Chains A and B, each alone.
Chain A
Amino acid sequence: MNNLLDQTYSRCNKMIFTILSSIGMSEADDTKNNLFLSTYIRFIKEVYKSPENKELLDKITALNENVSFEDFEKVINEGKIHLKQNSLSFPDVLKKSTISVLQDFITELEPKLTLEKAAELRKLLDNVQHI
């Protein structure tokens, strides 16, 4: 499982870098970070919405500043165990999140691009999905 996750991380990173480098932005940290953060938020949202995580997340959202450190740690540890047992879908969710972020990114960028460049980026995204 860890190997599959590692491979998915690498593929998702590669997807983002490939799209960025095609517009000459491979070293553009802020843009890259924005895309990674969006991917991360979408991933969390998907996991958050998942029915098998509802009970766990209800426990987490019930925590507040008055909770003892021990109780906090207990919930977090339970959560880690729960997610290890329910993480089969994570690589797929991560990949889908990355692709959807890149699709939205290109859609935002499209009005400023030439038709050829926009088509090139769309084609590139189609190709990198199979990396």
Chain B
Amino acid sequence: MTENLGNREPGPSSLKGFLRVMRDTLFKPQVEATQKGAKWVAKESVGFVKETLITSGEAFAASGRVLTKDIQEFADSLGIHLFEQGSAPKHERIAGVVVSLTMASFLSLLYLPIASGVLHGPAAGSPEAYAVASLLTLPTSLPLVEAYRYAMGRKRF
């Protein structure tokens, strides 16, 4: 009569038993907890990602609407009438936006230390140093490129 050792649940004194006890008391609860934690994290992540995606898209639109309002008000203060996007022929929209932004950038020649700080953050050196650098880029390239993007509909407010 031989005992079938393979079918017998090993006691805690054996290696197998020791591992079983370890599994049931230490690892198993942790795995379950980890799974629960992972599910919770995943759920939160989905919520976060969803919210981030929604707000990211909407934040871009919101920032564009604020900028549109500012450009229009600034153009008005200079006596320049800007066409609403889509309500005027394309070349007139381009002209309107370019004129107003060029005018704005022209005035900004005087305020470059401030303008460069706002747009680019503090640079190395004195404000005058990056004012000179911005002199070449800000009044010409930035407003014109931006105006072109808006006017051509490549960038939406």
A interface size (C-beta, 8 A): 48
Q: Does A83 contact B (CB under 8 A)?
A: yes
Within 8 A of B (CB), among A67-83: 76, 79-80, 83
Q: How far, in Å, is B124 (CB) from chain A's closest CB?
A: 11
A106 and B130 CA atoms in complex are apart in Å by 31
Name A8's closest neighbour in chain B (CB-CB): B117
Give the complex CA separation of A20 and B122 in angstroms.
Answer: 19
User: Which residue of the partner chain A has the closest CB to B63?
Assistant: A34
Complexed CA–CA distance, A62 and B35 (Å): 72
A5 touches B73 (CB 8 A): no
Contact A79 B155 (CB under 8 A): no
Out of B109, B115, B122, name the residue touching A10 (CB < 8 Å): B122
Query: Between A and B, how many residue pairs show CB distances below 8 Å?
Result: 127
- Interface flag for A38 (CB, 8 Å): yes
Please indicate the chain A residues that have their CB under 8 angstroms from the CB of B62 in the complex. 105, 108-109
Which one of B7-15, B36-44, B51-59, B88-96 is at the A interface? B51-59
Interface centre among A41, A79, A105 (most CB of B within 10 A): A41
- Inter-subunit contact A30/B110 (CB<8 Å): no
Contact B59 A31 (CB under 8 A): yes
With A5-B114, A28-B60 known as contacts, the answer to whether A113 contacts B155 (CB < 8 A) is: no
Partner of A6, one of B51, B73, B106, B127: B127
Scan residues 57-116 of chain A and give those whose CB is less than 8 A from a CB of chain B: 57, 60, 76, 79-80, 83, 90, 94, 101, 104-105, 108-109, 112-114
| Contact B121–A109 (Cβ < 8 Å) | no
* Separation of A8 and B119 alpha carbons in the complex (Å): 13
A37 to B107, CA, bound (A): 14
- Whether A9 contacts B66 by the Cβ 8 Å rule is no
Does B64 belong to the interface (CB within 8 Å)? yes
Mark each residue of chain B from 128 to 157: 1 if its CB lies under 8 Å from any CB of chain A, else 0.
Answer: 000000000000000000100000000100
Closest to A97 in B: B118
A101 to B109, CA, bound (A): 22
Binding site for B on A (CB under 8 A): 2, 5-6, 8-10, 12-13, 20, 23-25, 28, 30-31, 33-45, 47-48, 56-57, 60, 76, 79-80, 83, 90, 94, 101, 104-105, 108-109, 112-114, 117
Give the A-binding residues of B (Cβ under 8 A).
48, 51-52, 54-56, 58-67, 69-71, 73-74, 77, 104, 106-111, 113-115, 117-119, 121-122, 126-127, 146, 155
Known A6-B117, A94-B117; 20 more pairs at CB < 8 Å: A6-B127, A9-B121, A10-B122, A24-B56, A28-B56, A34-B60, A34-B63, A34-B66, A36-B118, A37-B119, A40-B114, A40-B118, A41-B67, A42-B70, A43-B114, A44-B111, A79-B109, A80-B110, A112-B54, A117-B51
